[in-house]
Amino acid sequence: MLFDPFISSNPLAEGIDVDKIQPDYMLISHGHEDHTADAVRIARQSGCKCIGIWEIHSWLQSNGIENTHPMNIGGSHSFEFGTVKMVSAVHSSSFPDGSYAGNPAGFVIQNSDDCFYYAGDTALHTDMQLISRKFKLKCAFLPIGNNFTMDIYDAIDAARMVGTTTVIGMHFDTFGPIEINHEEAHRAFKTAGIHLHLMKIGDTIDI
């Protein structure tokens, strides 16, 4: 599964060969360029199924991508790998040309082995509490870079709300305004009793 591909125009991802990425599924949280830059290219080369809100589906279709599955906030659907529930995110969403991309979203992915939350870009919001009522998360992918999304302290609150003690940080260090102090982030999460993983581009981890 691939989420929000932003590779060829991301200077930090220079070492990643986009042409070699062959996912089975691609999930897109919203239309901003730093989440969709390589979506059409990878969908075309891999034939993967692309999951996103209705307007993301329409945009992919209009770019010649046929293997799409539209959803909307609050809905869930079962795929081969498990169930995806599309949940709300508090952010904005438009495509690089400024056109409407629907609402921003997050995803909760669940099967019999695993359950995790991918928040996309979002502010801290109290709807996150609903996730812990229905799901027992193994981990959560949360934005922590501040300025455009939650900062590390809001992400700690978010982790508590969704009910997880394992967080993989996202949306940090890519541009000046979202550069973070790694030491401070690790210290704050440790004090809160939450494991924070700050992955480098190309890293792999076992959770």
CB of 103 to Ni ion, least distance (A): 12
CB of 62 to Ni ion, least distance (A): 21
What SS3 state is found at 21? Answer: coil
CB of 148 to Ni ion, least distance (A): 6
Backbone phi and psi for residue 14, each to the nearest 5 degrees, phi listed first: -55, -35
Q: How many CB atoms lie within 10 A of CB 135?
A: 20
Q: Which is nearer to Ni ion, 66 or 97 (CB)?
A: 97
CB of 192 to Ni ion, least distance (A): 25
Burial class (CB in 10 A: 0-12, 13-18, 19+), 51: buried
Closest CA relative to residue 168, chosen from 142, 192, 148, 193: 142
Backbone phi and psi for residue 31, each to the nearest 5 degrees, phi listed first: -85, -5
What SS3 state is found at 203? Answer: coil
CB of 206 to Ni ion, least distance (A): 28
Contact positions vs Ni ion (CB under 5 A): 32, 121
Q: Which is nearer to Ni ion, 32 or 49 (CB)?
A: 32
Q: Which is nearer to Ni ion, 119 or 196 (CB)?
A: 119
Q: Which is nearer to Ni ion, 37 or 140 (CB)?
A: 37
CB of 70 to Ni ion, least distance (A): 20
Q: Which is nearer to Ni ion, 70 or 143 (CB)?
A: 143
Cα-Cα-Cα-Cα dihedral sign, residues 111, 114, 118, 119 = positive
Q: Which is nearer to Ni ion, 50 or 121 (CB)?
A: 121
- Alpha-carbon span 153 to 190, nearest angstrom: 12
Residues 6+ apart with CB under 8 A from 167: 139, 140, 141, 142, 144, 155, 159, 189, 194, 195, 196, 197
